[in-house]
Structure 1
Amino acid sequence: MTEKSAEYGTLLVTQPAPGITLVTLNRPDRLNAMTNTMFDELEVVARKLSDDNDIRVVILTGAGAGFCAGYDLDDAERLPDLSALGMFDQQNRAARALAAVRAIPVPVIAAVNGAAAGGGFSLSLMADIRLGAPTAKFNAAFVKIGLSAGDLGASWLLPRLIGPAHAAEIAFTGRTVGAEEAERLGLLNAVTGPDDLLDRALAMAGQICANSPGGIKLSKRALQSNLEITSFAAALELESRGQALLTRCADMPEALAAFREKRAPHFTGA
Protein backbone atom coordinates (compact mmCIF):
# COMPACT_ATOMS: atom_id res chain seq x y z
CA MET A 1 0.00 0.00 0.00
CA THR A 2 1.47 3.34 -1.06
CA GLU A 3 0.92 5.88 1.68
CA LYS A 4 0.96 9.64 1.38
CA SER A 5 0.18 10.76 4.89
CA ALA A 6 -0.53 14.13 6.45
CA GLU A 7 -0.29 15.14 10.08
CA TYR A 8 -3.54 15.70 11.95
CA GLY A 9 -4.45 15.24 15.58
CA THR A 10 -7.63 13.21 15.04
CA LEU A 11 -7.36 12.01 11.43
CA LEU A 12 -5.02 9.91 9.34
CA VAL A 13 -5.00 10.79 5.64
CA THR A 14 -3.27 8.35 3.27
CA GLN A 15 -3.24 7.48 -0.42
CA PRO A 16 -3.54 3.68 -0.74
CA ALA A 17 -3.70 3.84 -4.55
CA PRO A 18 -3.42 6.51 -7.25
CA GLY A 19 -6.46 8.77 -7.20
CA ILE A 20 -7.84 7.26 -3.98
CA THR A 21 -7.58 8.99 -0.60
CA LEU A 22 -8.34 7.18 2.65
CA VAL A 23 -9.44 9.35 5.57
CA THR A 24 -9.38 7.46 8.87
CA LEU A 25 -10.93 8.87 12.03
CA ASN A 26 -8.09 8.25 14.44
CA ARG A 27 -9.23 8.24 18.08
CA PRO A 28 -9.59 4.47 18.53
CA ASP A 29 -9.38 4.64 22.32
CA ARG A 30 -12.62 6.72 22.25
CA LEU A 31 -14.26 4.80 19.37
CA ASN A 32 -13.36 7.81 17.21
CA ALA A 33 -15.73 10.09 19.11
CA MET A 34 -15.99 13.61 17.73
CA THR A 35 -14.36 16.66 19.27
CA ASN A 36 -14.07 20.25 18.11
CA THR A 37 -10.58 19.43 16.88
CA MET A 38 -12.00 16.62 14.74
CA PHE A 39 -14.70 18.88 13.35
CA ASP A 40 -12.12 21.51 12.40
CA GLU A 41 -9.79 18.93 10.86
CA LEU A 42 -12.58 17.23 8.91
CA GLU A 43 -13.56 20.58 7.41
CA VAL A 44 -9.94 21.40 6.49
CA VAL A 45 -9.31 17.97 4.96
CA ALA A 46 -12.59 17.97 3.03
CA ARG A 47 -11.82 21.36 1.51
CA LYS A 48 -8.28 20.30 0.59
CA LEU A 49 -9.60 17.15 -1.07
CA SER A 50 -12.20 19.20 -2.94
CA ASP A 51 -9.43 21.36 -4.42
CA ASP A 52 -7.20 18.45 -5.48
CA ASN A 53 -7.96 17.49 -9.09
CA ASP A 54 -5.88 14.31 -8.83
CA ILE A 55 -8.27 12.76 -6.31
CA ARG A 56 -10.97 10.57 -7.83
CA VAL A 57 -12.51 8.79 -4.80
CA VAL A 58 -12.44 9.33 -1.03
CA ILE A 59 -12.90 6.46 1.44
CA LEU A 60 -13.89 7.35 5.00
CA THR A 61 -13.45 4.86 7.86
CA GLY A 62 -12.58 4.60 11.55
CA ALA A 63 -9.51 3.26 13.33
CA GLY A 64 -9.92 0.32 15.69
CA ALA A 65 -13.25 -1.24 16.57
CA GLY A 66 -15.62 1.62 15.76
CA PHE A 67 -16.53 3.94 12.92
CA CYS A 68 -17.54 6.91 15.06
CA ALA A 69 -19.30 6.98 18.45
CA GLY A 70 -20.68 10.49 17.91
CA TYR A 71 -19.87 13.54 19.98
CA ASP A 72 -17.44 12.77 22.78
CA LEU A 73 -19.53 12.43 25.94
CA ASP A 74 -16.84 14.09 28.06
CA ASP A 75 -17.33 17.21 25.93
CA ALA A 76 -21.11 16.77 25.77
CA GLU A 77 -21.36 17.21 29.55
CA ARG A 78 -20.40 20.86 29.04
CA LEU A 79 -23.09 21.60 26.45
CA PRO A 80 -25.81 22.65 28.96
CA ASP A 81 -23.41 25.30 30.28
CA LEU A 82 -23.22 27.05 26.91
CA SER A 83 -25.47 29.99 26.16
CA ALA A 84 -28.11 29.54 23.46
CA LEU A 85 -25.91 31.34 20.95
CA GLY A 86 -22.88 29.40 22.18
CA MET A 87 -24.68 26.12 21.51
CA PHE A 88 -25.78 27.43 18.12
CA ASP A 89 -22.15 28.19 17.27
CA GLN A 90 -21.17 24.69 18.42
CA GLN A 91 -23.79 23.11 16.17
CA ASN A 92 -22.68 25.21 13.22
CA ARG A 93 -19.07 24.15 13.76
CA ALA A 94 -20.07 20.50 13.54
CA ALA A 95 -22.48 21.09 10.67
CA ARG A 96 -19.83 22.87 8.60
CA ALA A 97 -17.52 19.87 8.95
CA LEU A 98 -20.10 17.31 7.87
CA ALA A 99 -21.43 19.51 5.08
CA ALA A 100 -17.87 19.89 3.77
CA VAL A 101 -17.55 16.09 3.61
CA ARG A 102 -20.79 15.82 1.67
CA ALA A 103 -19.68 18.61 -0.67
CA ILE A 104 -16.50 16.80 -1.77
CA PRO A 105 -17.06 16.72 -5.56
CA VAL A 106 -15.86 13.14 -6.04
CA PRO A 107 -17.58 10.01 -4.69
CA VAL A 108 -17.20 9.36 -0.97
CA ILE A 109 -17.41 5.75 0.24
CA ALA A 110 -17.98 5.19 3.96
CA ALA A 111 -16.36 1.94 5.09
CA VAL A 112 -18.32 1.42 8.30
CA ASN A 113 -16.24 -0.91 10.44
CA GLY A 114 -18.24 -0.74 13.67
CA ALA A 115 -20.62 1.53 15.55
CA ALA A 116 -21.82 4.70 13.84
CA ALA A 117 -23.80 6.46 16.56
CA GLY A 118 -25.27 9.93 16.91
CA GLY A 119 -23.07 12.33 14.97
CA GLY A 120 -21.18 9.33 13.64
CA PHE A 121 -24.44 8.10 12.12
CA SER A 122 -24.90 11.52 10.52
CA LEU A 123 -21.31 11.44 9.24
CA SER A 124 -21.93 8.10 7.53
CA LEU A 125 -24.95 9.64 5.78
CA MET A 126 -22.68 12.26 4.17
CA ALA A 127 -21.12 9.52 2.03
CA ASP A 128 -22.52 8.62 -1.37
CA ILE A 129 -22.02 4.90 -0.78
CA ARG A 130 -21.83 2.92 2.47
CA LEU A 131 -20.19 -0.48 2.84
CA GLY A 132 -20.33 -2.19 6.21
CA ALA A 133 -18.47 -4.94 7.99
CA PRO A 134 -20.68 -7.45 9.84
CA THR A 135 -19.89 -5.44 12.99
CA ALA A 136 -21.35 -2.23 11.52
CA LYS A 137 -24.28 -0.82 13.45
CA PHE A 138 -26.17 2.46 13.44
CA ASN A 139 -27.87 4.34 16.23
CA ALA A 140 -29.62 7.72 16.26
CA ALA A 141 -28.52 8.20 19.84
CA PHE A 142 -29.62 11.82 20.15
CA VAL A 143 -32.95 11.00 21.82
CA LYS A 144 -31.11 8.90 24.40
CA ILE A 145 -29.38 12.00 25.77
CA GLY A 146 -32.32 14.41 25.60
CA LEU A 147 -31.59 15.84 22.14
CA SER A 148 -33.42 15.72 18.82
CA ALA A 149 -32.76 13.16 16.12
CA GLY A 150 -32.90 16.16 13.78
CA ASP A 151 -29.16 16.73 14.00
CA LEU A 152 -26.35 17.33 11.50
CA GLY A 153 -28.46 16.55 8.45
CA ALA A 154 -29.89 13.23 9.63
CA SER A 155 -33.52 14.34 9.44
CA TRP A 156 -33.08 15.36 5.80
CA LEU A 157 -30.86 12.54 4.51
CA LEU A 158 -32.19 9.50 6.37
CA PRO A 159 -35.83 9.67 5.13
CA ARG A 160 -34.58 10.12 1.56
CA LEU A 161 -32.35 7.10 1.94
CA ILE A 162 -34.66 4.58 3.63
CA GLY A 163 -38.10 6.24 3.56
CA PRO A 164 -39.91 8.36 6.16
CA ALA A 165 -41.54 5.53 8.11
CA HIS A 166 -38.33 3.58 8.72
CA ALA A 167 -36.49 6.80 9.49
CA ALA A 168 -39.13 7.83 12.04
CA GLU A 169 -39.05 4.48 13.82
CA ILE A 170 -35.25 4.51 14.09
CA ALA A 171 -35.23 8.15 15.22
CA PHE A 172 -38.02 7.85 17.82
CA THR A 173 -36.86 4.60 19.42
CA GLY A 174 -33.14 5.29 19.34
CA ARG A 175 -32.60 1.58 18.78
CA THR A 176 -29.54 0.06 17.16
CA VAL A 177 -29.73 -1.13 13.55
CA GLY A 178 -27.34 -3.99 12.80
CA ALA A 179 -25.50 -4.56 9.54
CA GLU A 180 -27.91 -7.05 7.97
CA GLU A 181 -30.96 -4.89 8.67
CA ALA A 182 -29.08 -1.81 7.46
CA GLU A 183 -28.41 -3.55 4.16
CA ARG A 184 -32.04 -4.61 3.87
CA LEU A 185 -33.25 -1.05 4.50
CA GLY A 186 -30.79 0.44 2.00
CA LEU A 187 -28.73 2.16 4.66
CA LEU A 188 -25.78 -0.01 3.61
CA ASN A 189 -25.11 -0.79 -0.04
CA ALA A 190 -23.54 -4.09 1.00
CA VAL A 191 -22.25 -6.02 3.99
CA THR A 192 -18.72 -7.31 3.43
CA GLY A 193 -16.87 -10.18 5.03
CA PRO A 194 -15.34 -9.75 8.49
CA ASP A 195 -11.87 -8.94 7.17
CA ASP A 196 -12.27 -7.45 3.69
CA LEU A 197 -14.10 -4.15 4.28
CA LEU A 198 -11.27 -1.91 3.07
CA ASP A 199 -10.39 -4.29 0.24
CA ARG A 200 -13.98 -4.13 -0.98
CA ALA A 201 -14.03 -0.35 -0.64
CA LEU A 202 -10.78 -0.07 -2.58
CA ALA A 203 -12.09 -2.40 -5.29
CA MET A 204 -15.21 -0.26 -5.68
CA ALA A 205 -13.07 2.88 -5.73
CA GLY A 206 -11.00 1.30 -8.49
CA GLN A 207 -14.13 0.66 -10.56
CA ILE A 208 -15.10 4.31 -10.18
CA CYS A 209 -11.58 5.49 -11.09
CA ALA A 210 -11.82 3.54 -14.36
CA ASN A 211 -14.52 5.94 -15.56
CA SER A 212 -14.38 9.52 -16.80
CA PRO A 213 -13.39 11.92 -13.98
CA GLY A 214 -15.63 14.67 -15.31
CA GLY A 215 -18.51 12.29 -15.87
CA ILE A 216 -18.29 11.03 -12.28
CA LYS A 217 -18.11 14.54 -10.82
CA LEU A 218 -21.13 15.77 -12.74
CA SER A 219 -23.01 12.55 -11.98
CA LYS A 220 -22.53 13.23 -8.28
CA ARG A 221 -23.59 16.84 -8.70
CA ALA A 222 -26.73 15.80 -10.59
CA LEU A 223 -27.67 13.14 -8.03
CA GLN A 224 -27.19 15.49 -5.09
CA SER A 225 -28.77 18.57 -6.66
CA ASN A 226 -31.81 16.72 -7.93
CA LEU A 227 -32.60 15.50 -4.42
CA GLU A 228 -33.44 19.13 -3.70
CA ILE A 229 -35.28 19.93 -6.94
CA THR A 230 -39.05 19.46 -6.90
CA SER A 231 -39.49 19.96 -10.64
CA PHE A 232 -38.82 17.23 -13.21
CA ALA A 233 -38.22 19.92 -15.81
CA ALA A 234 -35.56 21.54 -13.62
CA ALA A 235 -33.88 18.16 -13.15
CA LEU A 236 -33.79 17.60 -16.90
CA GLU A 237 -32.35 21.08 -17.40
CA LEU A 238 -29.53 20.42 -14.93
CA GLU A 239 -28.75 17.06 -16.55
CA SER A 240 -28.72 18.55 -20.05
CA ARG A 241 -26.30 21.28 -19.03
CA GLY A 242 -23.99 18.68 -17.53
CA GLN A 243 -24.00 16.57 -20.68
CA ALA A 244 -23.37 19.59 -22.88
CA LEU A 245 -20.44 20.63 -20.72
CA LEU A 246 -18.90 17.15 -20.73
CA THR A 247 -18.88 16.90 -24.53
CA ARG A 248 -16.47 19.86 -24.47
CA CYS A 249 -14.07 18.15 -22.06
CA ALA A 250 -11.00 16.32 -23.35
CA ASP A 251 -11.70 12.97 -21.72
CA MET A 252 -15.17 12.44 -23.24
CA PRO A 253 -14.04 11.74 -26.84
CA GLU A 254 -11.26 9.48 -25.53
CA ALA A 255 -13.66 7.56 -23.28
CA LEU A 256 -16.18 7.19 -26.10
CA ALA A 257 -13.53 5.90 -28.51
CA ALA A 258 -12.27 3.37 -25.95
CA PHE A 259 -15.81 2.21 -25.23
CA ARG A 260 -16.61 1.79 -28.96
CA GLU A 261 -13.42 -0.21 -29.48
CA LYS A 262 -14.23 -2.47 -26.54
CA ARG A 263 -17.82 -3.04 -27.68
CA ALA A 264 -17.12 -3.41 -31.42
CA PRO A 265 -16.67 -7.22 -31.44
CA HIS A 266 -20.10 -7.66 -29.84
CA PHE A 267 -21.78 -5.67 -32.58
CA THR A 268 -19.93 -7.36 -35.43
CA GLY A 269 -20.61 -10.85 -34.15
CA ALA A 270 -16.93 -11.54 -33.45
Structure 2
Amino acid sequence: MKDYSTISVEQEGAVDWLTLNRPDRLNALDATMVCELWDYFQGLQSDYSRRIVVLRGAGKAFCAGLDLVWFNTAKEKMPRGATDKGPGPSLSDIVLSMRSCPQVIISLVHGAACGGGFNFALASDIRIAGRSARMNVAFVKLGLSGCELGTSYFLPRTVGASVAAELMMTGRFIHADRALATGLVSEVVDDDQLEATARALIGDLLAASPTGLRKTKETMARASGMDDLAAVIALEEHTQTMCMQASDFTQTVAAFGEVKAERV
Protein backbone atom coordinates (compact mmCIF):
# COMPACT_ATOMS: atom_id res chain seq x y z
CA MET A 1 0.00 0.00 0.00
CA LYS A 2 1.09 3.58 -0.64
CA ASP A 3 2.26 5.71 2.25
CA TYR A 4 -0.60 8.20 2.48
CA SER A 5 -0.53 10.98 5.07
CA THR A 6 -4.21 12.01 5.38
CA ILE A 7 -5.90 8.65 4.79
CA SER A 8 -5.07 5.12 5.88
CA VAL A 9 -5.91 1.89 4.09
CA GLU A 10 -5.97 -1.50 5.81
CA GLN A 11 -6.43 -4.58 3.66
CA GLU A 12 -8.27 -7.62 4.99
CA GLY A 13 -8.51 -10.18 2.25
CA ALA A 14 -10.61 -8.62 -0.51
CA VAL A 15 -11.78 -5.77 1.73
CA ASP A 16 -10.17 -2.34 2.14
CA TRP A 17 -10.85 -0.34 5.29
CA LEU A 18 -10.32 3.25 4.14
CA THR A 19 -10.11 5.77 6.98
CA LEU A 20 -10.11 9.54 6.55
CA ASN A 21 -7.33 10.41 8.96
CA ARG A 22 -7.24 14.08 9.94
CA PRO A 23 -9.07 13.71 13.27
CA ASP A 24 -7.74 17.01 14.64
CA ARG A 25 -9.60 18.77 11.78
CA LEU A 26 -12.68 16.47 11.91
CA ASN A 27 -11.27 14.88 8.74
CA ALA A 28 -11.88 18.07 6.78
CA LEU A 29 -10.68 18.07 3.19
CA ASP A 30 -7.48 19.80 2.16
CA ALA A 31 -5.51 19.52 -1.08
CA THR A 32 -3.45 16.57 0.16
CA MET A 33 -6.48 14.52 1.17
CA VAL A 34 -8.22 15.26 -2.14
CA CYS A 35 -5.15 14.06 -4.08
CA GLU A 36 -4.75 10.96 -1.94
CA LEU A 37 -8.41 9.96 -2.17
CA TRP A 38 -8.39 10.45 -5.93
CA ASP A 39 -5.20 8.38 -6.24
CA TYR A 40 -6.72 5.60 -4.13
CA PHE A 41 -10.03 5.38 -6.01
CA GLN A 42 -8.33 5.65 -9.39
CA GLY A 43 -6.20 2.67 -8.42
CA LEU A 44 -9.34 0.60 -7.84
CA GLN A 45 -10.80 1.02 -11.32
CA SER A 46 -9.36 -2.21 -12.72
CA ASP A 47 -8.29 -3.94 -9.49
CA TYR A 48 -10.74 -6.81 -9.19
CA SER A 49 -8.83 -8.29 -6.26
CA ARG A 50 -10.44 -5.61 -4.09
CA ARG A 51 -14.17 -6.31 -3.75
CA ILE A 52 -15.37 -4.03 -0.95
CA VAL A 53 -14.29 -0.66 0.43
CA VAL A 54 -15.41 0.45 3.89
CA LEU A 55 -15.11 4.24 4.19
CA ARG A 56 -15.01 5.79 7.65
CA GLY A 57 -13.55 8.71 9.59
CA ALA A 58 -11.07 8.74 12.45
CA GLY A 59 -11.94 10.51 15.67
CA LYS A 60 -15.21 12.33 16.33
CA ALA A 61 -16.53 12.76 12.78
CA PHE A 62 -16.88 11.17 9.38
CA CYS A 63 -15.84 14.28 7.41
CA ALA A 64 -16.62 17.93 8.15
CA GLY A 65 -16.30 18.94 4.49
CA LEU A 66 -13.86 21.46 3.08
CA ASP A 67 -11.18 22.64 5.50
CA LEU A 68 -11.97 26.36 5.42
CA VAL A 69 -8.84 27.26 7.41
CA TRP A 70 -6.68 25.58 4.78
CA PHE A 71 -8.79 27.02 1.96
CA ASN A 72 -8.55 30.60 3.18
CA THR A 73 -4.80 30.29 3.73
CA ALA A 74 -4.29 28.79 0.28
CA LYS A 75 -6.48 31.44 -1.29
CA GLU A 76 -4.44 34.24 0.27
CA LYS A 77 -1.33 32.85 -1.41
CA MET A 78 -2.91 32.81 -4.87
CA PRO A 79 -2.04 35.52 -7.38
CA ARG A 80 -4.60 38.29 -7.67
CA GLY A 81 -7.50 37.19 -9.90
CA ALA A 82 -6.60 33.49 -9.69
CA THR A 83 -9.11 30.81 -8.72
CA ASP A 84 -8.83 27.63 -6.68
CA LYS A 85 -9.18 25.51 -9.81
CA GLY A 86 -5.74 23.96 -10.06
CA PRO A 87 -4.27 21.25 -12.29
CA GLY A 88 -4.82 18.53 -9.70
CA PRO A 89 -7.87 16.34 -9.05
CA SER A 90 -11.06 17.87 -7.65
CA LEU A 91 -13.73 16.63 -5.27
CA SER A 92 -15.91 15.96 -8.31
CA ASP A 93 -13.22 13.64 -9.67
CA ILE A 94 -13.34 11.63 -6.44
CA VAL A 95 -17.14 11.30 -6.55
CA LEU A 96 -17.00 10.13 -10.17
CA SER A 97 -14.23 7.65 -9.35
CA MET A 98 -16.27 6.25 -6.47
CA ARG A 99 -19.22 5.63 -8.76
CA SER A 100 -17.16 4.13 -11.58
CA CYS A 101 -15.02 1.77 -9.48
CA PRO A 102 -16.26 -1.85 -9.47
CA GLN A 103 -16.06 -2.26 -5.70
CA VAL A 104 -19.02 -1.99 -3.34
CA ILE A 105 -18.46 1.06 -1.12
CA ILE A 106 -19.90 1.07 2.40
CA SER A 107 -19.85 4.34 4.34
CA LEU A 108 -19.90 4.22 8.13
CA VAL A 109 -21.12 7.68 9.10
CA HIS A 110 -20.67 9.03 12.61
CA GLY A 111 -20.57 12.59 13.82
CA ALA A 112 -20.51 15.31 11.18
CA ALA A 113 -20.77 14.51 7.47
CA CYS A 114 -20.98 17.93 5.85
CA GLY A 115 -20.56 19.30 2.34
CA GLY A 116 -18.05 17.15 0.48
CA GLY A 117 -18.11 14.64 3.33
CA PHE A 118 -21.86 14.23 2.88
CA ASN A 119 -21.28 13.72 -0.85
CA PHE A 120 -18.80 10.92 -0.15
CA ALA A 121 -21.56 9.18 1.81
CA LEU A 122 -24.07 9.83 -1.00
CA ALA A 123 -21.66 8.43 -3.59
CA SER A 124 -21.33 5.20 -1.59
CA ASP A 125 -23.46 2.17 -2.35
CA ILE A 126 -24.52 1.47 1.23
CA ARG A 127 -24.64 3.86 4.17
CA ILE A 128 -24.79 2.83 7.83
CA ALA A 129 -25.15 5.58 10.42
CA GLY A 130 -24.01 5.78 13.98
CA ARG A 131 -26.48 7.45 16.34
CA SER A 132 -24.25 10.53 16.46
CA ALA A 133 -24.45 11.06 12.68
CA ARG A 134 -25.52 14.49 11.45
CA MET A 135 -25.35 15.24 7.74
CA ASN A 136 -25.98 18.40 5.76
CA VAL A 137 -25.60 20.15 2.42
CA ALA A 138 -23.16 22.80 3.57
CA PHE A 139 -22.71 24.61 0.25
CA VAL A 140 -25.90 26.66 0.57
CA LYS A 141 -24.73 27.88 3.99
CA LEU A 142 -21.65 29.38 2.30
CA GLY A 143 -23.61 31.49 -0.15
CA LEU A 144 -23.37 28.87 -2.91
CA SER A 145 -26.00 26.73 -4.57
CA GLY A 146 -26.99 23.57 -2.74
CA CYS A 147 -26.32 21.75 -6.01
CA GLU A 148 -22.73 20.56 -6.16
CA LEU A 149 -20.69 17.36 -6.41
CA GLY A 150 -23.72 15.37 -7.55
CA THR A 151 -26.03 16.38 -4.69
CA SER A 152 -28.89 17.20 -7.06
CA TYR A 153 -28.41 13.77 -8.67
CA PHE A 154 -28.03 11.61 -5.57
CA LEU A 155 -30.26 13.18 -2.96
CA PRO A 156 -33.64 13.34 -4.79
CA ARG A 157 -33.14 9.75 -5.96
CA THR A 158 -32.42 8.66 -2.39
CA VAL A 159 -34.88 10.57 -0.20
CA GLY A 160 -37.37 12.00 -2.71
CA ALA A 161 -37.79 15.47 -4.18
CA SER A 162 -39.42 17.17 -1.19
CA VAL A 163 -36.93 16.12 1.48
CA ALA A 164 -34.04 16.73 -0.94
CA ALA A 165 -35.28 20.25 -1.68
CA GLU A 166 -35.60 20.99 2.04
CA LEU A 167 -32.07 19.81 2.81
CA MET A 168 -30.49 21.44 -0.25
CA MET A 169 -32.25 24.79 0.12
CA THR A 170 -31.80 25.22 3.88
CA GLY A 171 -28.59 23.37 4.77
CA ARG A 172 -30.45 21.80 7.68
CA PHE A 173 -28.85 18.82 9.34
CA ILE A 174 -30.49 15.45 9.01
CA HIS A 175 -29.82 13.19 11.98
CA ALA A 176 -29.60 9.42 12.16
CA ASP A 177 -33.23 8.56 12.93
CA ARG A 178 -34.66 10.74 10.16
CA ALA A 179 -31.96 9.53 7.78
CA LEU A 180 -33.19 5.98 8.37
CA ALA A 181 -36.85 6.97 7.98
CA THR A 182 -36.17 8.66 4.63
CA GLY A 183 -34.03 5.83 3.25
CA LEU A 184 -30.83 7.86 3.31
CA VAL A 185 -29.16 5.13 5.36
CA SER A 186 -29.99 1.44 5.56
CA GLU A 187 -29.33 1.01 9.28
CA VAL A 188 -28.67 3.00 12.46
CA VAL A 189 -26.58 1.52 15.25
CA ASP A 190 -24.63 2.73 18.26
CA ASP A 191 -21.36 4.30 17.17
CA ASP A 192 -19.30 1.57 18.78
CA GLN A 193 -21.22 -1.05 16.76
CA LEU A 194 -20.48 0.44 13.32
CA GLU A 195 -17.52 -1.82 12.59
CA ALA A 196 -19.27 -4.98 13.79
CA THR A 197 -22.34 -4.13 11.70
CA ALA A 198 -20.15 -3.56 8.66
CA ARG A 199 -18.42 -6.89 9.17
CA ALA A 200 -21.75 -8.73 9.21
CA LEU A 201 -22.73 -6.99 5.98
CA ILE A 202 -19.36 -7.76 4.42
CA GLY A 203 -19.91 -11.44 5.12
CA ASP A 204 -23.15 -11.39 3.11
CA LEU A 205 -21.57 -9.38 0.29
CA LEU A 206 -18.60 -11.72 -0.01
CA ALA A 207 -21.02 -14.65 -0.23
CA ALA A 208 -22.08 -13.27 -3.62
CA SER A 209 -19.93 -14.03 -6.63
CA PRO A 210 -17.29 -11.41 -7.51
CA THR A 211 -18.76 -11.00 -11.00
CA GLY A 212 -22.33 -10.78 -9.72
CA LEU A 213 -21.39 -8.13 -7.18
CA ARG A 214 -19.55 -5.97 -9.73
CA LYS A 215 -22.30 -6.29 -12.32
CA THR A 216 -25.01 -5.45 -9.80
CA LYS A 217 -23.33 -2.12 -8.97
CA GLU A 218 -22.68 -1.37 -12.65
CA THR A 219 -26.22 -2.23 -13.77
CA MET A 220 -27.90 -0.32 -10.94
CA ALA A 221 -25.92 2.78 -11.91
CA ARG A 222 -26.88 2.50 -15.58
CA ALA A 223 -30.53 1.70 -14.84
CA SER A 224 -30.87 4.76 -12.59
CA GLY A 225 -30.47 6.97 -15.64
CA MET A 226 -33.02 5.13 -17.76
CA ASP A 227 -36.78 5.79 -17.92
CA ASP A 228 -37.89 2.95 -20.18
CA LEU A 229 -38.72 -0.32 -18.40
CA ALA A 230 -38.15 -2.42 -21.50
CA ALA A 231 -34.67 -0.92 -21.90
CA VAL A 232 -33.87 -1.66 -18.25
CA ILE A 233 -35.03 -5.27 -18.60
CA ALA A 234 -32.93 -5.65 -21.75
CA LEU A 235 -29.93 -4.29 -19.84
CA GLU A 236 -30.56 -6.72 -16.99
CA GLU A 237 -30.87 -9.67 -19.37
CA HIS A 238 -27.59 -8.71 -21.04
CA THR A 239 -25.95 -8.49 -17.63
CA GLN A 240 -27.29 -11.89 -16.58
CA THR A 241 -25.95 -13.44 -19.77
CA MET A 242 -22.51 -12.06 -18.99
CA CYS A 243 -22.70 -13.40 -15.42
CA MET A 244 -23.78 -16.83 -16.65
CA GLN A 245 -20.71 -16.98 -18.85
CA ALA A 246 -18.47 -16.46 -15.83
CA SER A 247 -17.01 -19.60 -14.29
CA ASP A 248 -18.21 -18.76 -10.76
CA PHE A 249 -21.85 -18.96 -11.91
CA THR A 250 -21.47 -22.59 -13.02
CA GLN A 251 -19.67 -23.49 -9.79
CA THR A 252 -22.27 -21.77 -7.62
CA VAL A 253 -25.21 -23.45 -9.34
CA ALA A 254 -23.53 -26.84 -9.03
CA ALA A 255 -22.83 -26.29 -5.32
CA PHE A 256 -26.39 -25.07 -4.71
CA GLY A 257 -27.75 -28.17 -6.41
CA GLU A 258 -25.63 -30.43 -4.24
CA VAL A 259 -26.82 -28.72 -1.03
CA LYS A 260 -30.48 -28.93 -2.13
CA ALA A 261 -30.11 -32.62 -2.96
CA GLU A 262 -28.64 -33.30 0.49
CA ARG A 263 -31.57 -31.56 2.16
CA VAL A 264 -34.07 -33.62 0.19
Shared fold (TM-score, shorter chain, > 0.5): yes
Aligned to 2:63: 68
Aligned residue number for residue 32 of structure 1 = 27
CA deviation profile, 1:121-153 (whole Å, cap 9, x unmatched): 111101000001111110111111111110111
CA separation in 2, counterparts of 1:135 and 1:178?
8
- After the TM superposition, which residues 3-42 of structure 1 pair with which residues of structure 2 at under 5 Å, given as runs? 6-15=2-11, 17-42=12-37
For residues 81 and 255 of structure 2, the distance between their equivalents in structure 1, rounded to whole angstroms, comes to: 58
Say whether residues 1:211 and 2:208 are aligned partners: yes
How many residues get paired?
262
> What per-residue deviation string (whole Å, max 9, x for no partner) do you get for residues 70-108 of structure 1?
011113436697889835558971200121122221211
Which of 217, 230, 233 is the aligned partner of 1:233? 230
Describe the shift of the 1:264–1:33 C-alpha distance in structure 2 as closer, same or farther (beyond 3 A): same
Partner residue, 1:86: 83
- Paired AA for residue 97 in structure 2: A
Q: Which runs of 5+ in 2 are unaligned?
A: none
Relative to the length of structure 1, the TM-score reads: 0.90
1:187 corresponds to which residue?
Answer: 184
Unpaired segments of 5 or more residues in structure 1? none
Residue deviations 1:178-200 (CA, integer Å, cap 9, x gap): 11111111111100123110111
Cα offset, 1:27, TM superposition:
0.4
| Alignment correspondent of 1:162 | 159
Alignment of 1:14-163 (within 5 A): 14-15=10-11, 17-77=12-72, 86-87=83-84, 93-163=90-160
Letter in 1 for 2:7: L
* 1:67 CA drift (Å): 0.3
Supply the distance in 2 between the matched residues of 1:119 and 1:82 (Cα, whole angstroms): 26
Shift of 1:202: 1.8
Structure 1 counterpart of 2:149, which letter? L
- How much does 1:218 deviate? 0.5
Give the secondary structure class of the aligned counterpart of 1:7. coil
Structure 1 pair 56/134, CA: closer, same or farther in 2 (3 Å)?
same
Q: Distance in 2 between matches of 1:118 and 1:216?
A: 29
Looking at structure 2, the residues matched to 156 and 122 of structure 1 have their Cα atoms a distance apart, in angstroms, of 11
Distance 1:252 1:165, change over 3 A: same
Please say if residues 6 and 12 of structure 1, whose CA atoms lie closer than 8 Å, have aligned partners that are also in contact: no
**1:260 matched to which residue of 2?**
257
Q: Report the more deviating stretch, 95-104 or 18-27.
A: 95-104
Deviates more, 1:75-84 or 1:220-229: 75-84
How far apart, in 1, do the equivalents of 2:131 and 2:190 lie?
7
What is the one-letter code of the residue matched to 2:166?
A: E
Residue type of the alignment partner of 1:59: V
1:244-259 to structure 2, matched below 5 A, reads 244-259=241-256
